[in-house]
Structure 1
């Protein structure tokens, strides 16, 4: 009987909510079109506090801004997911519809509308900082006149807020 209040308090205590996160990335693009100019890219992502957390899995909303050395730019909003495994390792993924603006005709992706999909693997350096390596792909899902797409490989630094 003495343990009932302690157990009730443990059950009623709120679990620590996952934090918001800002992610800075740098890497390289690989356009599918032969005439396109492959180049360096930088990115800034924001992941809002997840609306669904179930053990090691989190699902939430986020946004992304990317610009490459040719001044091509992308801005998108969508779903972000994270799954923790092992002790400090995690996988993250996102799907973000958005707008793409090419600065040079050869880097045109067929339409302004693009969807960025991303898959990464990362390691938590501390409670508030992580590193990940991600591959991403932007495509208009054949909604444009052409759909060459672009891939990117980025090294990303995550900072929890």
Structure 2
């Protein structure tokens, strides 16, 4: 089921990327695109697979020329879990369009019927690999780890892999 979901997500991301390439938008300088709103979908607890679920995420990222930039995120999965947090991210452009983006986000995890992570306070560390189109639109794939850093009696952690579409706020409204 998860493999089928990933194939569909990759197909959708590819179609979005293709549409973006054919759009006749002017090139937007990297930081002038304004804040970014991210829409993500993927697999929760992918590596351990004990409590695998489908994950969806909504994320707000401040887009400026600072080395560390603020972000706010909300994640929910099909087992009723939710994670909300505020953190920081950075962008390392490897080429004009290809980038690597590490982030760190402390937050609150509500378990629902999902995996017991051992504590309501959790920390998400993430590595994202993406492509920025001339219009400012971005597509990416990321892997993250959520853990309570030993604050609870249990600390099994979990990993997720997601595909994201990041849209400049000004293109939505």
Q: How does 1:1-161 map to 2 (within 5 A)?
A: 17=32, 19-30=34-45, 36-50=50-64, 52=66, 58-104=67-113, 107-161=115-169
How many residue pairs match? The answer is 140
- C-alpha displacement of 1:43: 0.6
- C-alpha displacement of 1:116: 0.6
Which whole-Å deviations, capped at 9, do the CAs of 1:89-132 have from their partners, x for residues lacking one? 0111210000000112x611000000011101001133221100
Which whole-Å deviations, capped at 9, do the CAs of 1:42-97 have from their partners, x for residues lacking one? 01111124372xxxxx4211111000111110001011111112131011121000
Structure having the larger proportion of residues in helix: 2
For residues 76 and 108 of structure 1, do their structure 2 counterparts lie closer, same or farther at Cα, with a shift above 3 Å needed?
A: same
* Structure 2 length-normalised TM: 0.74
- Which consecutive unaligned segments of at least 5 residues does structure 1 have? 1-14, 53-57
* Structure 1 length-normalised TM: 0.79
Structure 1 runs, 4 residues or longer, greater than 3 Å off = 15-18, 31-34
State whether residues 31 and 149 of structure 1, in contact with CA within 8 Å, keep that contact through their aligned partners in structure 2: no
State whether residues 96 and 116 of structure 1, in contact with CA within 8 Å, keep that contact through their aligned partners in structure 2: yes
For residues 76 and 49 of structure 1, do their structure 2 counterparts lie closer, same or farther at Cα, with a shift above 3 Å needed?
A: same
For residues 113 and 51 of structure 1, do their structure 2 counterparts lie closer, same or farther at Cα, with a shift above 3 Å needed?
A: farther
Which is higher, the Rg of structure 1 or of structure 2? Answer: 1
- Which consecutive unaligned segments of at least 5 residues does structure 2 have? 1-29
Q: Which whole-Å CA distance do the structure 2 matches of 1:71 and 1:143 have between them?
A: 23
State whether residues 73 and 86 of structure 2, in contact with CA within 8 Å, keep that contact through their aligned partners in structure 1: yes
Structure 2 residue matching 1:107: 3-state secondary structure: coil
For residues 32 and 133 of structure 1, do their structure 2 counterparts lie closer, same or farther at Cα, with a shift above 3 Å needed?
A: closer
Q: Which whole-Å CA distance do the structure 1 matches of 2:51 and 2:154 have between them?
A: 17
